[in-house]
Structures are given as structure tokens and as C-alpha cells.
Amino acid sequence: MLSRTPPMGFNTWNTFAENINADLIKETADKMVELGLVDAGYKYLVIDDCWSKKERDPETGKIVPDENKFPEGMKAVSDYVHSKGLKFGMYSCAGTRTCADYPGSYGHEFLDARTFAEYGADFLKYDYCYKPHTADGVKLYRKMGMALKACGREILFSACNWGNDEVSKWIRSAGAHMYRSTGDIFDSFESMRDIAMSQIENLAYSAPGCFNDIDMLTCGMYGKGHVGFGEDIDRKQFDIDYKTEFSLWCMFSSPLMIGCDIRSISDETLKLLKNKTLIRINQDEESRPAFVGSRLEKSTPTFVKHLSNGEFAVLFTNMGEERNGRCALYFDEIGIPADSGYGLRLVDAITGEDIGVKKEFFMIELEKHDSRMFIGRLEK
């Protein structure tokens, strides 16, 4: 099964947008191996928008790679990516043009799926710009779902209609393996927080085979790149924000697509993205939705997620702008009444610190934007 657990990899868009080329892809592939990201599970290397020429080939009708960016064509890039033990991802759009105004697949779905198969693609992100008004969006995703099935290669279908048309209700039936459910992320705490918080009601739609994608990670961008805000101190994110971002993505079973420049990734980001416990929470085979356990203040929700081995992931967050925020977990609210005699042994997912068995309630203070993930075990 493709997408038994949330897909993991890298996507060019957040940092590079149109500034992509074969060397960047190869260097990124090399680094993903060298830094142990592939071993940690990040398997897909996805080229987003802006890879093709502005028009299709007039004779064959095919989309063609821009020879200035990919002089040896796409198959050569894909072969290189595969030779490194990675999987290769491509991008197209359900409308007539892509969001950055390159040819879209509307009316060419089966031909394009075959072209991606010829490239050796293992993944297709499928966007939603320039959809003709008369076209039915659901049918367009069904059509590409079928075209991928017919193309002769197993290709993971990554839908991206930003949550339109109540997508979570039908996208799994169209054959998608993951689907975007929000607009685009930007590298600011506000953008990241709003995207994550908007998806709480939607979490139950993620399950093996098809996952709610809350967008590519901005962890490690520090304001740089296409979706960054430069040196704007009030908007760029810091390590503490990225810890919260990655913890939420893991808690929410979202695909984990790295969006920073891996060739110059910081030690702190690398450590975070390779954290085995956080990845285990994200990749848990049952993919149970997290729920809000307690919410002492609006900005300090605490999330709980059942894990398949009988443990629980427990995430305390302070999404507020106050210096300190009080975060609580009332055990009665998550199904552990005091008269059961049970509490939770809590072990910090990042530091490994065992803080003992907590009963009835547990309260901590967190700095603004901070979070703390624990693994919990029922104990008397």
C-alpha cells in the first residue's frame, strides 16, 4: 500500500519556487542521504511548480522540462534521485495552467500521467489553479486518479485543492494518498498556527491510505526563501517555533515534507526533524486522530493521541503571545477519572526526561510559542 503512514520527504517550493534546477535536486538528494534524513524516513524528493517550459511541445502535446534548468531532461534527474535510494516526485495542476503559470494538465490528464511515468516519477502533487469555471473539481481529481492508475507505474497521488469543495469527504474515494486542506503556509508562527488550528475538526479524516496534508514544513527556514519574510524579526520563526510546528505536524499525522534548504540545514533543525520519538508519533501505524484534551486558555490547547502500542502522545502548547502560558491536562477530560486509580507516566519526547506518574491533572508553564511533547503510559 502506498501511504500506509504519512509520506515523508522534501519539496522545492517553500525555499526555491522557480529557482530550481538539476544541480539543486542532485545536491539535495546527496545531502538527504549524507545527513541520515533518508534513513530517518524522508524518502520523497519532490520538484514543485516551475520545472517545465511555458508551453507544451506543439507536435507531441507533452509538457517538456525547461532545458535551462534540466538540460539532461527529467529522466536523468529521476535516475540520479533513484540511485541514491530516494523516490522522485513531480508536480502538475488540475487547471489549464499551474499556479505559477506553466502548462497545467486540464484536458491532458492521461498523456501527462504517462509522461510522469516515463520520467520514473513515484509521486505527483496536483494543484488547483486555473480551473475552468465550468469544470467540476471533484471530477478533475477523479480523472487524474484514474490516469495515474492507467499510467503503468505506481505513483503516489498528492492532491492540493486547499480544502475546497469539502475535499476531505471525497478525496480518498478519488484515489489520493494525501491531500492539502488549507491555503499555503508561510514561514511565520501566525501562519503555521492558524493552519494547524484550522484542522482540528478535520483530523479524523486522516487514515492509512490517505492523509490530510497541512502543508510543507517551514522548519529551518529562519525567514529565508520563497515563503519566508526575510530578516523581519516579528515574522520569521525561531527554533522554539519550529519545535512546536514539527510537534503539531507529528501529532496531526500530516505528511512531513521538508521545505528548508537541506544543503545548509542548521544542526538544531536536523536534530528536530530526525527526532525518533516525534517521527514515531507521526508514523504510528494506526494514525489515530489527536483530540484536544484540555484547553485552559484558548491559546494553550493540549492534545492527546492514542498510539498503537498502548502509549499516548501528549502535546502541551502555548500558541499565545504572552510570555508565559499555563497549559493543563485534566485527566478526567481525556477518559481517566480519578476513581479509576490510574494516571499517566510522562516521558519527555525530546529530552527523554521521565517526570513520573501524574494523576488527576498536570499543569505546566510554557514560554510563548513553546510546546512540550510527552509519551504517556497508563499506570496506577
What positions carry a catalytic annotation? 127, 184
18 is a contact residue toward ligand GLA (CB under 6 A): no
| Burial class of 34 by CB neighbour count within 10 A (0 to 12, 13 to 18, 19+) | exposed
Q: Please check whether residue 327 is in contact with residue 296, taking contact to mean a CB–CB distance below 8 angstroms.
A: yes
The residues in 245-284 that bind ligand GLA, with binding defined as CB under 6 A, are none
176 is a contact residue toward ligand GLA (CB under 6 A): no
127 is a contact residue toward ligand GLA (CB under 6 A): yes
- Determine which residue in the list 100, 296, 307, 328 makes contact with ligand GLA, applying CB under 6 A: 100
47 is a contact residue toward ligand GLA (CB under 6 A): no
Q: Please check whether residue 182 is in contact with residue 196, taking contact to mean a CB–CB distance below 8 angstroms.
A: no
Candidates 70-78, 98-106, 134-142, 366-374 — which segment interacts with ligand GLA by CB under 6 A?
Answer: 98-106
Cell (9 digits) for 168: 476531505
| Burial class of 166 by CB neighbour count within 10 A (0 to 12, 13 to 18, 19+) | exposed
Instruction: Kindly state the smallest distance separating residue 92's Cβ from ligand GLA, in Å.
Output: 10
Q: Which residue's Cβ has the minimum distance to ligand GLA?
A: 99
Place of cell 541514491: 84
Candidates 93-101, 150-158, 276-284, 366-374 — which segment interacts with ligand GLA by CB under 6 A?
Answer: 93-101
203 is a contact residue toward ligand GLA (CB under 6 A): no
Instruction: Kindly state the smallest distance separating residue 128's Cβ from ligand GLA, in Å.
Output: 8
Instruction: Kindly state the smallest distance separating residue 89's Cβ from ligand GLA, in Å.
Output: 12
Q: Please check whether residue 152 is in contact with residue 113, taking contact to mean a CB–CB distance below 8 angstroms.
A: no
Beta strands in the chain (DSSP E): 8-11, 44-46, 87-93, 123-127, 156-160, 178-180, 211-213, 256-258, 291-295, 301-306, 312-317, 324-330, 343-348, 354-358, 361-367, 371-379
Q: Please check whether residue 264 is in contact with residue 15, taking contact to mean a CB–CB distance below 8 angstroms.
A: no
Place of cell 544543503: 263
13 is a contact residue toward ligand GLA (CB under 6 A): yes
- Determine which residue in the list 3, 15, 20, 48 makes contact with ligand GLA, applying CB under 6 A: 48
What is the distance between the alpha carbons of residues 355 and 344, in angstroms, rounded to a whole number? 10
What is the distance between the alpha carbons of residues 338 and 332, in angstroms, rounded to a whole number? 7
213 is a contact residue toward ligand GLA (CB under 6 A): no
- Determine which residue in the list 30, 118, 184, 268 makes contact with ligand GLA, applying CB under 6 A: 184
Instruction: Kindly state the smallest distance separating residue 171's Cβ from ligand GLA, in Å.
Output: 15
160 is a contact residue toward ligand GLA (CB under 6 A): yes
Candidates 74-82, 95-103, 134-142, 306-314 — which segment interacts with ligand GLA by CB under 6 A?
Answer: 95-103
Nearest CB to ligand GLA, comparing residues 56 and 97: 97
What is the distance between the alpha carbons of residues 93 and 140, in angstroms, rounded to a whole number? 10
Instruction: Kindly state the smallest distance separating residue 105's Cβ from ligand GLA, in Å.
Output: 14
- Determine which residue in the list 5, 32, 49, 90 makes contact with ligand GLA, applying CB under 6 A: 49
Instruction: Kindly state the smallest distance separating residue 307's Cβ from ligand GLA, in Å.
Output: 30
The stretches of the chain forming alpha helices (DSSP H) are 13-16, 22-34, 37-40, 73-83, 109-119, 137-150, 189-198, 239-251, 267-273, 276-282
Binding site for ligand GLA (CB under 6 A): 13, 48-49, 98-100, 127, 160, 184
